[in-house]
Amino acid sequence: MRISPSDSVLVLVDMQPSFMANIYEIERVTARCKFLLEIAQLLEIPVLATEQYPERMKGTLPELAALLPKHPFAKMAFSCCGSEEFQKALRALGREQVILIGIETHICVTQTTLDLIEEDFLPYLVADAISARTREMHKIGLKRLQDSGALLAHSESVAYEWAVTAEHPKFKEMLAIVKRYAG
């Protein structure tokens, strides 16, 4: 199923420096999260974000927080859906496709994805913008979620599906972002 710009929302999960220190390929994950946040902002795709126990674990990485349209939702549950405020905001958007980026694949991303599936959303896992402490944890988490009904995508695929066509009025601006993050 193709990602629809009118039916999707981007969700940034727990990209807090206190969790990021030991994450597998964190530089890549951070760059791909930033890339998608910039594309979402350009193409006016709604964005939601969460922070796990921010009073103790602090806030979102500043370079990502600067790209968020509103402050992340605090949560104590590992699933983003454990936050009533997050759930209300997600439902208010009236969108079915939830594009997930952030950490950690096998914990918060997994529990969020499973809850989203149970609540009849269609989650997409942006595999290059999600990670865990080890490559194995990441791979096992993705496999489990794919087997549960989530779809995998690459961050650049998401961007191009949101644009739909090279005739999109903001395509040239999007292409400049794509080129800036190429590599």
Question: pLDDT tens across 67-124, in order?
Answer: 999 999 999 999 999 999 999 999 999 999 999 999 999 999 999 999 999 999 999 9
Domain coordinates of the chain in residue numbers? 8-172
User: Per-residue pLDDT averaged across 142-158, rounded?
Assistant: 97
Residue type, 147: D
Instruction: Grade residue 183 by pLDDT with cuts at 50, 70 and 90.
Output: low
* Residue owning tokens 């959303």: 121
Instruction: Grade residue 1 by pLDDT with cuts at 50, 70 and 90.
Output: confident
HSE of 116, CA atoms in CB hemisphere, 13 A: 29
Q: Give me the CATH topology for the region 8-172.
A: Rossmann fold (3.40.50)
pTM: 0.97
In Å, how far from its chain's centre is CA 119? Answer: 18
